[in-house]
Amino acid sequence: MSRLLFFLAVAMFVVWLVRQRLGINRKPSAPPPPAPSSASSKHMVACLHCHVHVPMHDAVRGVRGHYCSEAHRQLAEDR
Ligand SMILES: [Zn+2]
């Protein structure tokens, strides 16, 4: 009889352990906040020609604004 009680205690402990582990991953259903951009180079700019967003450091600078590529800067005749 004491073996049965011991087994029950172990079983309850295992169940409790599993619930604790599941509880770690269970969070309120809020979406994760957008990761704060660590570097200012992550700043996005929109191409004036096709409106695609590109990182600032990858953008081609024109007189009027930024472009995703040299080709679009030329297409926009921004020199
Ligand atoms: Zn573009």
Distance from the alpha carbon of residue 47 to the mean position of ligand 1, in angstroms: 5
Q: How many angstroms separate the alpha carbon of residue 36 from the centre of ligand 1? A: 25
Q: Are 72 and 60 in contact (CB under 8 A)?
A: yes
Q: Find the 58 Cα to ligand 1 centroid distance in Å.
A: 12
Residue 78 has pLDDT above 70, yes or no: yes
CB 60 within 8 A of CB 75: no
Percent of the chain with pLDDT over 90: 47
Tens of pLDDT, residue by residue over 29-51, are 777 777 655 555 479 999 999 99
Q: How far is the CA of 27 from the centre of ligand 1 (A)?
A: 40
More confident residue, 77 or 36: 77
Torsion of CA 68, 74, 78, 79, to 10 degrees: 110
Distance linking the first and last C-alpha atoms of the chain:
90
Ligand 1 centre distance from Cα of residue 59 (Å): 9
- Given a cut of 70, whether residue 26 has pLDDT beyond it is no
- Taking residues 11-40, report their average pLDDT: 74
